[in-house]
Structure 1
Amino acid sequence: MEKYVVVHNLSSVKAAFKVNRLNNSLGLDNSFHCKIDGGCVPPMGNTQIPIKFQPKLAGQTSTGYFEVCAVGDISKSTLKCTGACLGANCNNQYF
C-alpha cells in the first residue's frame, strides 16, 4: 500500500527538502519505505512524498518514523507511520 505526504511551499522561492528515515528503538521494523531522499518544492506549490507499507508478518502492527527537513535544517517535521497487516481471508468449505 502506498500513501502520500504533501509538502507545501508558501514562499515565493523554491524550497529544497530532504527525507531521512529515523531508526526505531529496536531497529527491527522496516515495513515502511520512502523511494525519495529529497527534492525541491516550487514557489507557492507542493510536492508529494510517497510512503510505501510492505509488512512482512500478518497480525502485527508496524510503526515507522521519517523526518522531512528543509535543507539547512531550518525546519523539520517528524512523520509517524502506523500500519496493520490483517493477512489473507481464507474460507474452506467441506463437502
Structure 2
Amino acid sequence: MSFTPLHDRVLVRRIDGDATTPGGLIIPDTAKETPQEGEVVAIGAGARDEDGDRIAMDVRAGDRVLFGKWSGTEVRIEGEDLMIMKESDILGVMA
C-alpha cells in the first residue's frame, strides 16, 4: 500500500467480530455492531512539540488496537475500507 498518514494519524483496518452468539445463533448483518477493534496498517511520523521536535508514536504497524465507537474517518483505499484516526483516539493496544 502506498498511503502514509500525516503527523499523529494512524491508518486502521477494522477486525470483524463473530457472526454468531456464544449460544450458536447467527447474527444478521443488520443487527451487528460495528467493531471497535482493528489492526494498525500504517502510522504517521508523529506530532511536533512546541520546540519542533517529533513526539514518538506509541503504536506500530501490525498492532491490534481498541478505539472509541465514533472515532476516526472511514476511507476507501485501493478497494479496501479503512479508518484514519488520531493516535489519541486509540484506547489501548491488545497484547
Give the alignment's TM-score, normalised by structure 1: 0.25
Please identify the structure whose Cα radius of gyration is greater.
1
Q: Which structure is higher in strand share?
A: 1
Give the alignment's TM-score, normalised by structure 2: 0.25
Q: Which structure is higher in helix share?
A: 2
